[in-house]
Chain A
């Protein structure tokens, strides 16, 4: 029997997905960073959607303009959005310096990568610092995990009086408590991500200074931490909208 004619099924496939090729033309670690970020986006989405669900389920809610209205060192009250505006600007700015570090990496310019990574780390530290100030401020007012300014009070009038400064519509102990829990959980989880990002950026900075990437011939690792850093910025864009604007 002659076997010169190969059946359609036995032919060696040579499409982009038949193996031995790199159809996405991306390095493994970078793909895995993307997949991690997609899963992390799910976590943050779940948090923020739960925040929305709580808000829809409560007859009233805290007024963001009333709870976030101080600027540390400048104004104790009456300035909504100013401080968080500064924080947002810091984070967007550090995202820009990060992408400039990635761009410098493409040109294999070690000096510039070091410079922009330093600025990025500085921006990250400034942001976490601002967040610490804001947390302290709210904590002094009586907000914390499982706690709001009226916690411990039993007299309904006293509860209403303690919470009155934070509401524009009706006052609800449960709404204030859920706001407090979700605010500290979500901004805390985001702040944790920023802190990890700073740590990763410091490690990559040290590796750059150590000539690791120069010897490797590629600054791909800067791109990978860059993806993570931009993701942190991306999450903040959503946190900012849902906690401070709406």
Chain B
């Protein structure tokens, strides 16, 4: 179909402008630097030098770095940044449910930790 072909080629051309080779490599170096930073914290600061302790602070740093990496992959490698904003909203808004699910399940997990073995089992015979 002529109309379809038009969309396809138009699509390819318009999106070609988003990511040239230089930009691809700069995104790669960002991802590499963020991963290297995670290794520096985990191997250097926590494991070898013992400057930081495993715990909430380090975990928060890891999660933030992970989310930044995820942003770079989705926005640039998967090209989402250059799509129409209504498409970005369509694909992104559902993750509100995931945030809700995280809160729900972690609260539940924390509850079970203190309440699952709170009462002894009573023999039934």
Interface membership of A1, Cβ < 8 A: no
CB <8 Å contact, A234 and B19: no
- In the bound assembly, the distance between CA atoms of A89 and B78 in angstroms comes to 18
B7 CB contact (under 8 Å) in A27, A237, A246: A27
A-B contacts at CB below 8 angstroms, number: 151
B98: chain A residues within 8 A (beta carbon): 41-42, 45, 49
A106: chain B residues within 8 A (beta carbon): 12-13, 15-16
Given A55-B109, A96-B28: A230 and B102 within 8 A (CB)? no
CB <8 Å contact, B78 and A92: no
- In the bound assembly, the distance between CA atoms of A31 and B88 in angstroms comes to 11
Which residues of chain A in 159-178 are interfacial with respect to chain B, using CB atoms and an 8 Å cutoff?
Answer: none
CB <8 Å contact, A53 and B73: no
Given A24-B86, A26-B83, A217-B5: A230 and B78 within 8 A (CB)? yes
Interface membership of B52, Cβ < 8 A: no
Chain A proximity of B114: nearest CB distance (Å): 9
Which residues of chain B in 84-99 are interfacial with respect to chain A, using CB atoms and an 8 Å cutoff?
Answer: 84, 86-87, 91, 94-95, 98
A35-58 Cβ-contact flags toward B at 8 Å (1 or 0):
100100110011001101111111
Given A85-B39, A100-B21, A103-B16: A220 and B11 within 8 A (CB)? yes
| A-B residue pairs in contact (CB < 8 Å), sample of 29 | A26-B7, A26-B83, A27-B4, A34-B87, A34-B91, A41-B95, A45-B98, A45-B101, A49-B105, A56-B110, A57-B112, A59-B113, A65-B47, A81-B43, A92-B28, A92-B35, A98-B77, A99-B19, A100-B21, A105-B12, A218-B5, A220-B11, A220-B12, A230-B74, A238-B66, A241-B38, A241-B63, A241-B65, A245-B38
Using a CB–CB distance below 8 Å, which chain A residues touch chain B? Answer: 22-27, 30-31, 34-35, 38, 41-42, 45-46, 49-50, 52-59, 65, 80-81, 85, 88-89, 92, 95-96, 98-100, 102-103, 105-107, 217-220, 223, 226-227, 230-231, 233-234, 237-238, 240-241, 245-246
